């Protein structure tokens, strides 16, 4: 696929153009960078997967305890303090499960709720209502930095990277930033459970993939 017109038609001009600008209209370098961006994005999947699953399950555990109800997401006390965003996301989860002709269970609701839903629970409005319990989801986070505002900033930053990766957007303009994101994700996982990082060791190939593709990104 060396023909620019074919690339623009199949992949889209909007996706290729930033790479061409970055490499001064050198099509070969732009294509190589595009491929490397896919490989580096792919390498983030194991870390992002474990972080997202670990975060939602840890929050679910704390909220089930907070409301003394495994179906806390439909508990009237939670509904009273939730925002329209959370209520809508829960409704969307129900609709999605029903569309697949599956029974609605707490486990399916929890799995269906988006990363954006979980990070929204660190918003300012929940400082006095949920944070006291949610902070317990991070037993390994030093207490001096285990603040709602810090968690909101950290996990919303990771969420933005996750969304860029899952929407096949470019993330490799600055490898120092990518390295910083990797460290942020690993730290977040460690805050949830140190053993998760050890378990992930053989799945984490980000550094190797970056080193292998470094020359295509310059």
The separation between CA 9 and the C-alpha centre of its own chain, rounded to angstroms, equals 30
Percent of the chain topping pLDDT 90: 85
- Going by C-beta distance under 8 Å and a sequence separation of 6 or more, which residues neighbour residue 123? 83, 152
In which band, very low, low, confident or very high, does the pLDDT at 218 lie, cut at 50, 70 and 90?
confident
What whole-number distance in Å separates Cα of residue 26 and Cα of residue 66? 57
What whole-number distance in Å separates Cα of residue 67 and Cα of residue 170? 41
Going by C-alpha positions, the residue among 65, 43, 40, 82 that lies closest to residue 133 is 65
Torsion of the alpha carbons at 106, 196, 63 and 147, rounded to the nearest 10: -150
What's the length of the chain? 218
pLDDT at 1: 46
What's the half-sphere exposure (Cβ side, CA atoms, 13 Å) at 135? 15
pLDDT tens-digit map of 103-123:
999 999 999 999 999 999 999
What whole-number distance in Å separates Cα of residue 210 and Cα of residue 218? 12
pLDDT at 28: 87
Going by C-alpha positions, the residue among 144, 159, 190 that lies closest to residue 48 is 159
In which band, very low, low, confident or very high, does the pLDDT at 150 lie, cut at 50, 70 and 90?
very high
What is the average pLDDT value for the chain, to the nearest integer? 93
In which band, very low, low, confident or very high, does the pLDDT at 194 lie, cut at 50, 70 and 90?
confident
With a cut of 90, say whether residue 214 has pLDDT above it: yes
Percent of the chain topping pLDDT 70: 96
Torsion of the alpha carbons at 215, 207, 116 and 101, rounded to the nearest 10: 100
What whole-number distance in Å separates Cα of residue 161 and Cα of residue 157? 7
pLDDT tens-digit map of 161-179:
999 999 999 999 999 999 9
Show the tokens assigned to 141: 């986070």
What whole-number distance in Å separates Cα of residue 190 and Cα of residue 176? 21
């Amino acid at each position: 696929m060396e023909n620019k017109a074919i690339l623009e038609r199949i992949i889209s001009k909007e996706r290729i153009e930033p790479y061409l600008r970055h490499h001064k209209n050198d099509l070969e370098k732009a294509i190589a960078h595009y491929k490397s961006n896919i490989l580096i994005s792919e390498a983030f999947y194991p870390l992002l997967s474990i972080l997202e699953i670990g975060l939602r399950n840890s929050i679910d555990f704390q909220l089930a305890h907070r409301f003394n109800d495994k179906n806390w997401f439909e508990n009237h006390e939670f509904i009273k303090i939730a925002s329209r965003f959370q209520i809508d996301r829960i409704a969307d989860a129900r609709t999605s499960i029903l569309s697949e002709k599956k029974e609605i269970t707490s486990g399916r609701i929890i799995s269906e709720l988006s990363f954006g839903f979980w990070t929204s629970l660190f918003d300012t409005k929940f400082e006095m209502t949920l944070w006291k319990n949610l902070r317990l989801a991070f037993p390994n986070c030093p207490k001096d930095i285990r603040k709602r505002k810090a968690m909101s900033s950290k996990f919303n930053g990771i969420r933005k990277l996750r969304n860029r990766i899952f929407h096949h957007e470019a993330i490799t303009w600055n490898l120092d930033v990518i390295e910083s994101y990797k460290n942020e994700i690993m730290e977040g996982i460690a805050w949830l459970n140190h053993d998760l990082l050890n378990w992930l060791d053989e799945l984490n190939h980000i550094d190797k993939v970056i080193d292998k593709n470094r020359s295509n990104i310059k």
